[in-house]
Structure 1
Amino acid sequence: MTPIRTGDVRLIDGEPNLIITRTFGSPAEAVWQTLTESERLREWIGYWEGDPTTGHVSFFMTSEAEDPEPERYTILECDRPRRFAGDTSQGSGAWHLWFELDEIAGVTTLTFGQRLNPGEDVGSIGPGWEYYLDRAEAAHEGRDVAAIAWDDYYPALRDEYAALAP
C-alpha cells in the first residue's frame, strides 16, 4: 500500500488544526460507533474505561503497546452522531482532538482534527493520524486492520506533513 497525504493545516478560531478527511459508505450513526464505542475502538486503536457522562474517561492506546498506561481524556463536546471534541491529559503535551460527521444519502464524510500546539511535530502527527484513520476505515468495513502497516506511512509521509507546519 502506498498511502497519500489527505490532510492539511487550517486555521480554526485563529489556531492551527491538522485536518484529515475520510468518506464512509455508511450512515453517520454507524461511523460514530466505530469512532466512539470502546469495543469498536479496540479494533483499530485502543479502548476506554469509565463513565463518559462524568465528562472523563481513561483511554488505553493498545495499538502501540500491549499494556499501556491510561491517558485521561476529557470530553468537551458530544453531539451524537455529528460532532465530538475532547482533550487528552493536561499539560504541555495535551492534545485537543475533534471530529465531525456529515451524512448525505447514506454516505458519511468524517472530518477529523487536532489543534496543533506550538512546536509540535506535524511530520510525525500527520502520518500517525493517516495510519489510524485508515485502520478505523478498515475496521469499519470489516477488513484486516493488521494489513495496514505503520512503516508504509512513516517516514514516507513525514516530509509532506512537515512542510505544513504552521
Structure 2
Amino acid sequence: MDRDSFRPGPLNEVARVPAGDRWDLVFVRDLRHPPEKVWAALTEPDRLAQWAPFLADRDLGAPGDATLSTVDGDRTWPERATVRQADRPTLLEYTWGEGLLRWELTPTESGTRLTLRHRIDQPDLAPKMAAGWHLCLDVAGHLLDGDPVGPIRGGEAKEFGWDELRAAYAERLDSPKS
C-alpha cells in the first residue's frame, strides 16, 4: 500500500474497565494470521519497529528487563520495562513506564483474536490510547499481510486520522472528548 493512501479501518471493540484505583483500556482486534505470526510481530524488535509506538532493545518473548523507547519524529524517550509473562503464543504481559500492557492471543477459525489490556491512570486517557492503538494495529495488520506502510506514531498520527478516531472512541466509551 502507498503510505499516502493509508486510512484507518473501522472502529474496534473497546471498553474501559476499573482496575483498582486505575482503569484498563480493553481493545480487541481480529487478525487474519495465526497466533505464532502475531506473536512475532508483538515480540521481535525488528517487527515492533515497523508498527509499535516504541522501539524495543530486545526480544520481548522472554521475561526480564527491557527498554522501550517511545518515538515521536526524530525524538525518542527510553522507559524501563519488564516482561512479566511471556507464554508463547497466547499471552504477553509487560510494564512500560507506569503502564501495564497485557496482550492475549486467541486462535480463531480465520486467524487470531488479539485482546490488549492497557492499564491507564485516568479514564479520560482511554479514547486517546484507543486511537493510538487503532492506528498502530492497522499498521501491524498491513505488516502481517506483507504490505507494510511503515510506523505511524507520535505527532504524525494526526495526519492519518488520529483526531477523528479519538472522537469516535470517546463517543463509544461515553467519555468527555478530551
Q: Which bracket does the TM-score occupy, shorter chain normalised? A: 0.7 to 0.9
Give the 3 Å change call, closer, same or farther, for CA 122–13 of structure 1 in structure 2.
closer
Structure 1 CA distance for aligned equivalents of residues 65 and 80 of structure 2: 7
Partner of 2:122: 118
Please, which runs of 5 or more residues in structure 1 have no aligned partner?
A: none
The residue that corresponds to 1:60 in the other structure is 69
The aligned counterpart of 2:141 is: 137
Over aligned residue pairs, what C-alpha RMSD do you find? 2.7
Percent identity between the two aligned chains: 27
CA distance in 1, matches of 2:57, 2:149: 22
Matches within 5 A, 1:1-166: 1=7, 3-11=9-17, 16-45=23-52, 46-50=54-58, 53=62, 55-62=64-71, 64-89=72-97, 94-105=98-109, 107-146=111-150, 150=157, 151-163=159-171, 164=173, 165=175
Q: How does the TM-score come out when normalised to structure 1?
A: 0.81
What are structure 2's unaligned runs of at least 5 residues?
1-6
Contact 1:128 1:153 in 2 (8 A): no
Contact 1:7 1:126 in 2 (8 A): no
Q: 1:28 to 1:16 in 2, by over 3 A?
A: same
Count of residue correspondences: 161
Is the 1:35–1:136 contact (alpha carbons within 8 Å) kept by the matching residues of 2? no
Normalising by structure 2, what TM-score?
A: 0.76
- Asked if the contact 2:65/2:81 (under 8 Å) is kept, the reply is yes
CA 1:124 to 1:10, structure 2 compared with 1: closer, same or farther past 3 Å?
A: closer
Structure with greater strand share of residues? 2
Which whole-Å CA distance do the structure 1 matches of 2:106 and 2:95 have between them? 22
